[in-house]
């Protein structure tokens, strides 16, 4: 079965891909607003994993709407959730039998509730799987250390391919650099370089 898995170049989506790889024909799908080199960073990570990679461009209005949500809220969670749902919708509409992502048991955002998963499946005639939905943080860290070559850096410095990277850029364009630190807490993120032999 052909699987399109939303891929940021980070640890979670890479690990989800490796868990699915023995059983599906995996294509890593990076959605982008085309405003940074995020998709190119994700493409390099995908090449390091030896997996097929595609890019889907999302409408810029989705980024602006997500940013406005974040400004209203004062925190990024709901805006990130909106973009992730748009990414799954776009991937489901791109012709894959099965659609997937790196959401985990203990995630706060983005999440994919069962109701959204079933709605996505019904509306697009696809199947949705979340390979990490039944895995907690400690197991994911152990498997990632065993299977992946990873670099971690503070999120503002890291050249990766996730929504946050691009949304920070859109936010700075629309509201100025100073707002980024108000909305996005500083945290360490990971970028995947390849598989461990």
Q: Which of 62, 84, 97 is nearest to 6 (CA)?
A: 84
Q: Interface with a copy of itself by CB under 8 A: which range of 26-34, 52-60, 131-139, 162-170?
A: 131-139
3-state secondary structure of 142: helix
Residues in the chain: 197
Asked if the peptide bond before residue 110 counts as cis, ω within 30 degrees of 0, the response is yes
Q: Is 132 in the site for a copy of itself (CB under 8 A)?
A: yes
Q: Is 81 in the site for a copy of itself (CB under 8 A)?
A: no
Q: Is 107 in the site for a copy of itself (CB under 8 A)?
A: no
Which x/- pattern over 147-176 shows residues binding a copy of itself (rule: CB under 8 A)? x-----------------------------
Please answer whether residues 191 and 30 qualify as being in contact, where contact means their C-beta atoms are separated by less than 8 angstroms: no
State which of residues 130, 148, 158, 167 lies at the interface with a copy of itself (CB under 8 A): 130
Q: Interface with a copy of itself by CB under 8 A: which range of 43-51, 67-75, 85-93, 140-148?
A: 140-148
Please answer whether residues 51 and 27 qualify as being in contact, where contact means their C-beta atoms are separated by less than 8 angstroms: yes
């Amino acid at each position: 079965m052909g699987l399109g898995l939303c891929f940021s170049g980070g640890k979670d989506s890479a690990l989800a891909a490796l868990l699915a790889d023995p059983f599906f024909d995996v294509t890593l799908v990076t959605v982008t607003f085309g405003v940074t080199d995020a998709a190119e960073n994700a493409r390099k990570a995908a090449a390091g994993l030896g997996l097929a990679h595609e890019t889907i461009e999302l409408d810029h209005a989705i980024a602006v709407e997500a940013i406005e949500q974040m400004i209203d809220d004062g925190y990024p969670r709901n805006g990130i959730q909106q973009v992730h749902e748009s990414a799954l919708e776009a991937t489901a509409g791109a012709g894959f039998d099965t659609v997937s992502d790196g959401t985990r048991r203990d995630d706060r955002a983005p999440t994919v509730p069962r109701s959204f998963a079933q709605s996505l499946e019904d509306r697009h005639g696809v199947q949705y799987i979340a390979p990490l939905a039944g895995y907690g943080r400690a197991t994911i860290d152990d498997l990632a250390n065993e299977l992946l070559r990873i670099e971690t850096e503070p999120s503002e410095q890291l050249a990766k391919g996730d929504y946050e990277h691009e949304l920070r850029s859109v936010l700075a364009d629309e509201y100025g650099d100073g707002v980024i630190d108000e909305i996005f807490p500083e945290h360490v993120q990971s970028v995947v370089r390849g598989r461990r032999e």
